[in-house]
Structure 1
Amino acid sequence: MQQRHLGSTGLKVSRLGLGSMTWGRDTDEHEARDQLVSFVEAGGTLLDTAAGYANGDSERVIGSLLGDVVPRDEIVLATKAGIAHLRGERETNASRGFLLSNLDASLRRLKVDHVDLWQVHTWVDDCPLEETLGALDHAVSSGRVRYVGISNYTGWQSAQAATWQRAVPGRAVPISNQVEYSLLSRGVEAEVVPAAQALGLGILPWSPLGRGVLTGKYRTGTPADSRAASPHFASFVGRHLNDRSERIVEAIVRAGEGLGWSALEVALAWVRDAPGVTAPIIGARTAEQLKASLLVEECELPPEIRQALDDVSSTNAPET
């Protein structure tokens, strides 16, 4: 698998990242092991998780596999802090104390002394930005983190964070922004992607397959084993099940038929090679699904197909 620099740094990562949001809940340790083996054998290096995934169980599963399935130094290990589920409700907190406590807990669950990329999971309005960024500085200076990033930040939020950190030499400057980006979610192209390119941040798209919709699996209904049928993800996927997505999916399917590719390969190749993107984060329910995604390494969209998909998925595309 090809490697790309993450942002304007010397850190290289595989141009596909492996996501683990469902590990420890919908994906058990045995299935996670199979996925990690398939990913590494394909040349993948970027493994992404978060303290809030499955209430920490995603990190626990990874901790049980690192060193056993793959040597620690062959993985670029990324996690996030700032979102938790406490007392049965989702909570966001970007305070220094909360973030650093999250980091310590993540390191224990992952069974490592440092992570390669530590990301603030979301912007929090009621916490001073300088406090949040101070936590990143401390994490790097203490040796627990090698690089830092942000997640789900808008264009102006990204610019403010990066500019603040660059104002004083020695601060930990964000090198990436992880955001939702796919043929169904192109809003980041207006400000987030240009800001990232101007500031030297790599874009790490989450849900690059439109929460699974772009695979075409929902064209004729909701499969019983799909995320849309899961109590955890029904509303998450349902937001992308509409008339616009149907048009886009049909265009992807037609493109795939002409190229001899799957709809998944078409959609994933489009976002992987979009301007500013370093590595889409792919997630899968099974190792077989993951292997299907990894086949995209051999795929490169012809310019005319990319343009046609740009046109049909544009937010300004005419209604039909």
Structure 2
Amino acid sequence: MEQRHLGRTGLRVSRLALGTMTWGRDVPEHEAADQLKAFAEAGGTLVDTADVYSEGTAEYLLGRLTESLVPREELVICTKSGRVADRSRRIDGSRGHLLTALDASLHRLGTDHVDLWLVHAFDPHTPAEETLHALDLAVSSGRARYVGLADHSGWQLARAATWQRAVPGRTPLAAAQMEYSLLQRGIEREVLPAAQDAGIGMLAASPLARGVLTGKYRHGTPADSRGAGTLAGLVQPYLDEDSRLIVDAVATAADGLATSPLQVALAWVRDRPGVASAVVGARTATQLASALGAESLCLPDEIRSVLDDISAPLHFYPDQDWTVL
């Protein structure tokens, strides 16, 4: 699998990443083992997890599997901290919470460091400089090699990147993780340009729009799908008419290329400017194998252009002068 530099850093990551959000919940340990083995054998290196995934079980399973199945040194492990289960405060970006959470993650992962550590969301109640100081301390103490942010807006990301580069000794941001797909191109307005300007590599989360871009929902909601279960609320926003037209276009492109809609959608986002890696989550090793098959697919310019046009979000003022439209 092709390896790419993460932003303007020396860290190289596989251009497809293995997501573990459902490990320990929908994915049992034996299935997680099959996924990790298949991913590593395909040349994948970047594995994405978080302390809240299955209440820490995802990290625990990954730690067990790096002891018994795939050597730790062959993987680039990314984890996230900052989201909490406390209903009174769903996000905690305080220095104390973040560093305590990182230590707990390292314990579950069975390692003394992670390759990439991300603040999982923006905390409006904690000074940004305090949150960012936690990133500096994580790197200076050796607990994290590189750091970044997830689920931050464009101005939040730009401010943080500027702060980190304002004084020698602070750790520059290496990565940002945001949802990005043919059905969700909102980051192209400000977040992605901010990341590219600051030399921050983008990790595209949910590149298949929570499974909708696989085409499985074109003729209804399968009983065994995420859309029919606990994640129905996450899938439903992508089942409108506009989304259906985009999914139909992806399916048509897949037919013409003799491949699957999944691979077309994944290849599109993987090769967008600024994207370092696309994070793929799967319930089974068979599903993961289908996604890994996109590694050999390079979309023709004509097809990419059509998909760009049909999925283009509406951006008006200040991106363009609406008075002359």
- Residue 25 of structure 1, CA deviation: 0.8
Match of 1:112 in 2: 111
CA contact (8 A) 1:55 1:84 kept: no
- Residue 230 of structure 1, CA deviation: 1.6
Mapping of residues 235-274 of structure 1, within 5 Å: 235-274=233-272
In the superposition, relative to structure 1, how do residues 234 and 27 fare at CA in structure 2: closer, same or farther (>3 Å)?
same
Match of 1:294 in 2: 292
Runs of 4+ in structure 1 over 3 Å off: none
Cα deviation code 1:238-275 (max 9, x no counterpart): 12111111000000000111111100011000000001
Cα deviation code 1:198-235 (max 9, x no counterpart): 1000010100001100000001111122111122x110
* Match 2:305 to one of 284, 288, 307: 307
For the residues of structure 1 that align with 2:17 and 2:167, how far apart are their CA atoms?
31
- Residue 44 of structure 1, CA deviation: 0.1
* Secondary structure class of the residue paired with 1:211: coil
* Secondary structure class of the residue paired with 2:259: coil
Match of 2:41 in 1: 41
> Aligned pair 1:189/2:202, yes or no?
no
Match of 1:6 in 2: 6
Cα RMSD of the aligned pairs, angstroms, is 1.1
Aligned residue type for 2:104: A
Match of 2:321 in 1: none
- Between the aligned residues of both structures, percent identity stands at 59
- Residue 86 of structure 1, CA deviation: 3.2
* Secondary structure class of the residue paired with 1:67: helix
Match of 1:128 in 2: 127
Match of 1:211 in 2: 210
Cα deviation code 1:273-315 (max 9, x no counterpart): 0010000000001110000000001100011101100111112
For the residues of structure 1 that align with 2:224 and 2:84, how far apart are their CA atoms?
27
Aligned residue type for 2:86: L
Aligned residue type for 1:266: V
* Match 1:281 to one of 272, 279, 287: 279
For the residues of structure 1 that align with 2:177 and 2:279, how far apart are their CA atoms?
9
Aligned residue type for 1:241: L
* Secondary structure class of the residue paired with 2:210: helix
Aligned residue type for 2:171: A
Number of equivalenced pairs? 315
Aligned residue type for 2:125: D
Match of 2:318 in 1: none
Once structures 1 and 2 are overlaid, which stretch shifts more, 207-216 or 89-98?
A: 89-98
- Residue 154 of structure 1, CA deviation: 1.2
TM-score (norm 2): 0.95
What stretches of structure 2 of length at least 5 have no aligned partner? Answer: 316-325
Aligned residue type for 1:149: G
Match of 1:15 in 2: 15
* Secondary structure class of the residue paired with 1:185: coil
TM-score (norm 1): 0.97
Cα deviation code 1:111-162 (max 9, x no counterpart): 1100000000011111100000010011111111100010011111111001
For the residues of structure 2 that align with 1:135 and 1:238, how far apart are their CA atoms?
36
- Residue 316 of structure 1, CA deviation: 3.5
Match of 1:70 in 2: 70
* Secondary structure class of the residue paired with 1:166: helix
Aligned residue type for 1:34: D
* Secondary structure class of the residue paired with 2:90: strand
Mapping of residues 154-193 of structure 1, within 5 Å: 154-193=153-192
Match of 2:319 in 1: none
* Secondary structure class of the residue paired with 2:84: strand
For the residues of structure 2 that align with 1:86 and 1:153, how far apart are their CA atoms?
20
Aligned residue type for 2:221: T
Cα deviation code 1:152-206 (max 9, x no counterpart): 1111111100110101111111111100000000010111111111100001010
For the residues of structure 2 that align with 1:170 and 1:200, how far apart are their CA atoms?
17
* Secondary structure class of the residue paired with 1:255: helix
For the residues of structure 2 that align with 1:54 and 1:105, how far apart are their CA atoms?
14
* Secondary structure class of the residue paired with 1:218: coil
In the superposition, relative to structure 1, how do residues 250 and 90 fare at CA in structure 2: closer, same or farther (>3 Å)?
farther
Mapping of residues 68-107 of structure 1, within 5 Å: 68-86=68-86, 91-107=90-106
